[in-house]
Amino acid sequence: MRLLLFPLVVYPLLELWVLIKVGGAIGALPVLGLILASAAIGFAVLRRVGWQTVSRVNQRLYRGETPKRELLVGASTALGGLLLLLPGFIGDALGLLLLLPAGGRWLRGQRGDSIHEGPPPRHNPSDNGPVTIEGEYRRED
């Protein structure tokens, strides 16, 4: 529990310290403008990546393939957009890193081994053959 509490307390304090330092260097209004601009970009990224990921996952599922790569790309891009949406320059830097192709590939390379592909679907919708659904039933009169 203490291990989780430490980043939850230290990270906001670190973000606040960076905001104060940058605000002292360039002024409060430019800092506010940068925060609002990064939040707008993060919102746009989240909105766009959500629909694209759903579309790509559906295409892969329709072909009877496992959408592992699409889910990882969508998750890393969504995380980058979320970090841009939150106020703070440290989160913005990490969010931009995830949105860049090299940063996203690095994250997917690190996390890709932990997601195992399951068996492919047993029925491809493009097949014209019969569909068999196995199961058990009990008739109650």
pLDDT value of position 15: 92
List, in sequence order, the alpha helices (H) in the chain: 2-26, 28-62, 68-85, 89-99, 101-111
pLDDT value of position 127: 59
Q: pTM score > 0.85 for this model? A: no
Q: Work out the angle between the directed axes of helices 28-62 and 2-26 (0-180°, nearest 10).
A: 130
Alpha carbons 94 and 29: distance in angstroms, whole number: 23
Q: Would you give the DSSP letter of residue 126?
A: T
CB 74 within 8 A of CB 107: no
pLDDT tens across 4-34, in order? 887 888 889 999 999 999 999 999 999 999 9
Specify the length of the chain in residues.
141
The amino acid occupying position 132 is T
pLDDT value of position 6: 78
pLDDT value of position 113: 47
pLDDT value of position 110: 59
